[in-house]
Amino acid sequence: MIVQRLREIQNRFGFLPDDELKKLARDSGVPLYRIEEVSSFFPAFILERTNPPKIEMRVCRDMTCHLRGAAELLDTKTGLPVLARELTERTGEAVCVEGVSCLGRCDRAPAVWVEKRPMPEGEHAWVYANRSREELEDVLRKLAAGEDPPPADPDAEYTPHTNANRTYSSPPVKDSDHPALPAAGWSLDVYGRQRWPRDYRAVKRFTDYLKNLSRPLLSPPREMGGKDLENYVQKYHPLLWELKTANLLGMGGAGAPAYQKWLDVWREPGPEKYIVCNGDESEPGTFKDRELLLRMPHLVVEGVILAGLMTGAAAGYIYIRHEYHEQIHAVREEIMRANRLNACGDDIYESGRNFQVEVFESPGGYICGEQSALIEAMEDRRGQPRNRPPELTTNGLRDRPTVVNNVETLAWAPGIVLFGGDKYELGGWRLPPAPPAAQVKMGGRRLFSISGDVARPGVYEVAIGLPLRDLLTDPKYCGGIINGPLRAVATSGPSGGLLPAKIPIDPKLDEKKRADVVKRISDRSPTDAAYMEWFLRTHVPMGATHLDLLDVPLDLTFYRNMESAFRLPVEPMLGAALVVYAGDVDILDQAVNFTEFYRNESCGKCVPCRLGSQKLVQIGNELLTRRDAGEPPVGAEAAAAKSDIEQITRTLKLTSICGLGYVAPFPLATAVAYFGADFQKKPGT
């Protein structure tokens, strides 16, 4: 694999020497231009011709880190770059400080990544989190002087939901060494809750089922569908049916049913099928997979194995972003342990089934979170999304049927297999069982990454449908909003833009319109319709002009219904990352920061996305500059700027191949829709 060979070369030298690239081309038989094409695309690779500095400090510049002062640290006139220039002149060796996209440590912002070329033997990089400017300057000075840097901030030494550290002698490498999440009682932690050894008993249950069958487990005929197909799965593949009962959705953002992906791949003929766990957690504000991969890798590995056995796949890959080196180490050790237990590898639990699992270390890039771009990277190509169809369930990795699921989605699978889909589904939020609300309920549980202006940032497992108010203010969760009253929440990282604490809605939502809303939803899901009917009655009195964001349930389907139900100007989104903004935070500044992220991470394949994201940044920065100079656009000028943003939004939604281009305009679009005052005057001035 070219990508992995490039990683090995860079680990050895600290960058990619030109001579080594030529040698790789000769040894592998891959043309040099193909190797150059890959190495120049991914941000993890540093080419020799770019004159890489001896010491490099990369400061996360996105979302929560921006909120916590990253821009001041990166200021070329007053920030850390000033010291870097002084050290370069003094030592004669290049020292560089620059910005970088999200590092996945948003609960400890600002996060900083530090490298010295080459790195000391056995070291990967030093990550510092929630450090002062003085502490970061000390890191640079010590490295420039040839000394060891101050101790870094490993994820394994961090106590979630606090700013305190606890010490482990080494990263977790043995079964007994995995740091336990302090969130004892998580439903996800099926082994911890039952005080069971982590012995892969969900895999054992499925292989026992296979061994007790009177005939081989055959996929249904291609022409079978509808109720006949459901009956077939229930009868012959009951453990797969449990995913259907659970209504387990993808936890990476899109929310596709896990059952449908697994079923589609199971129905495809041939033994060459694959399972890919998408651990390329690169969206700003998101860090839940970081915790799962480090502290509960056994659940992720077991979920991958279950997906492989249930679909008839031959191999599985756990794709992990390269910045998560502790997590990569933990998962590799866990795979070795699973092999020792005979839970994966050859003849798993004497079932006659083989399934291999390995880690694929990402070469970087937010775009690789898009599942087809991720597959392209695994196939040693530039990480650019594919045109679809065909879908990955028929033509995925190596053009074979492939399941791609998020880390959390797969981690829920062992518990569902062991306790049934009903147990998971019943974990959702419910009203007290008193008429007429007896049927108002939501199904399942999920994890959220919370950062920003809350007392206890971190990863929390909650019942799907829990009101946002409970998550942000309950002492067992975030423990309250800090730095002033709630102003906005980014409910899907940067993807959904910023929703205000009070969302303007259509005041003409009379009884007939309410009934129409409920009926439209009821055609798709009576359960969702029952909840919407109750929500309108309880939280949206007749003639209401605003919706309290804190009342809105943490449910993907509800968010998808909000645009049409309340006549909102921009469709809301709910992802795994919630970033909270309070007090007099500058929403226009935050929206421009979000937009710059998409500009920086666009793969460039779509012309509208490549140019449109840059145009949005240009518009946003011009609005910021003019406002701060006391000359904000008014009248026709303001209307023209708004029109430009709306036109680019429509164009990108219609023409982008993947979701990045689709959502890139949302930060500025929501700022225009909900925070017009910030375009005229900086908050707090």
User: Which tokens go with 482?
Assistant: 């800090």
457 and 385 belong to one structural domain = no
pLDDT at 67: 98
At 638, which CATH number? Answer: 1.20.1440.230
At 532, which CATH number? Answer: 3.10.20.600
**Last residue in a domain, options 100, 127, 152:** 152
The partner residues of 60 in beta bridges, in order of sequence, read: 100
Output the CA torsion 163→169→170→172 (10° steps). Answer: -80
The partner residues of 98 in beta bridges, in order of sequence, read: 58
For every residue of 6-57, DSSP letters joined together read HHHHHHHHSSB-HHHHHHHHHHH---HHHHHHHHTT-TT--BGGG---SEEE
d(CA 182, CA 583): 30
Least confident of 22-26, 40-44, 247-251, 647-651: 247-251
Half-sphere exposure of 338 (CA within 13 A, CB side): 32
**Last residue in a domain, options 584, 608, 629:** 584
Q: Which residue has the tokens 């359960």?
A: 527
Is 308:301 a contact under the CB 8 Å cutoff? no
Q: What is the average per-residue pLDDT within 557-579?
A: 92
525 and 667 belong to one structural domain = no
d(CA 130, CA 457): 12
661 and 595 belong to one structural domain = yes
Q: What is the average per-residue pLDDT within 31-35?
A: 96
Helices (H), 482-586: 511-524, 526-539, 556-566
pLDDT at 573: 95
d(CA 373, CA 366): 10
Q: What is the average per-residue pLDDT within 313-328?
A: 97
- Is residue 33 pLDDT above 90, yes or no? yes
Q: List the end-to-end C-alpha distance of the chain, in Å, as a whole number.
A: 55
To 5 degrees, how large is the angle CA 196–CA 200–CA 201?
Answer: 70
At 374, which CATH number? Answer: 3.40.50.11540
21 and 142 belong to one structural domain = yes
Least confident of 191-200, 239-248, 467-476, 614-623: 191-200
Q: What is the strand order of the sheet 111-116 is part of?
A: 95-100, 55-60, 111-116, 126-129
**Which region, left, alpha or beta, applies to residue 60 given φ > 0 means left and ψ of -120 to 50 means alpha?**
beta
Output the CA torsion 473→478→481→483 (10° steps). Answer: 160
d(CA 340, CA 393): 30
Residue 182 falls inside a structural domain: no
d(CA 12, CA 121): 9
606 and 624 belong to one structural domain = yes
Mean pLDDT for the chain? 92
Going by pLDDT thresholds of 50, 70 and 90, the confidence category of residue 214 is confident
pLDDT at 252: 78
d(CA 340, CA 361): 23
- Is residue 175 pLDDT above 50, yes or no? no
124 and 196 belong to one structural domain = no
Residues of the domain holding 212: 187-423
pLDDT at 439: 56
288 and 414 belong to one structural domain = yes
Burial (0-12, 13-18, 19+ Cβ within 10 Å), 651: middle
CB atoms within 10 A of CB 269: 10
User: Which tokens go with 509?
Assistant: 């939502």
- In 3D space, the residue among 248, 246, 247, 224 whose CA is nearest the CA of residue 236 turns out to be 224
For every residue of 342-370, DSSP letters joined together read TSSBSSGGGSS--BEEEEEE----GGGGS
294 and 374 belong to one structural domain = yes
d(CA 350, CA 347): 5
Q: State pLDDT tens for residues 416-442.
A: 999 999 988 878 776 655 444 445 667
Buried b (16+ CB within 10 A) or exposed e, 390-416: eebbebbbeebbbbbbbbbbbbbbbbb
How many residues can be counted in the chain? 685
Least confident of 164-173, 440-449, 667-676: 164-173
Residue 167 falls inside a structural domain: no
Percent of the chain with pLDDT over 70: 95
Going by pLDDT thresholds of 50, 70 and 90, the confidence category of residue 184 is very low
Q: What is the 3-state secondary structure (H, E, C) of 421-444?
A: HHHHHCCCCECCCCCCCCCCECCC
The number of distinct structural domains making up the chain is 4
- In 3D space, the residue among 452, 581, 408, 597 whose CA is nearest the CA of residue 107 turns out to be 452
- Is residue 48 pLDDT above 80, yes or no? yes
Q: State pLDDT tens for residues 330-387.
A: 999 999 999 999 999 999 999 999 999 999 999 999 999 999 999 999 999 999 999 9
**Last residue in a domain, options 373, 393, 423:** 423
- In 3D space, the residue among 349, 231, 259, 357 whose CA is nearest the CA of residue 305 turns out to be 357
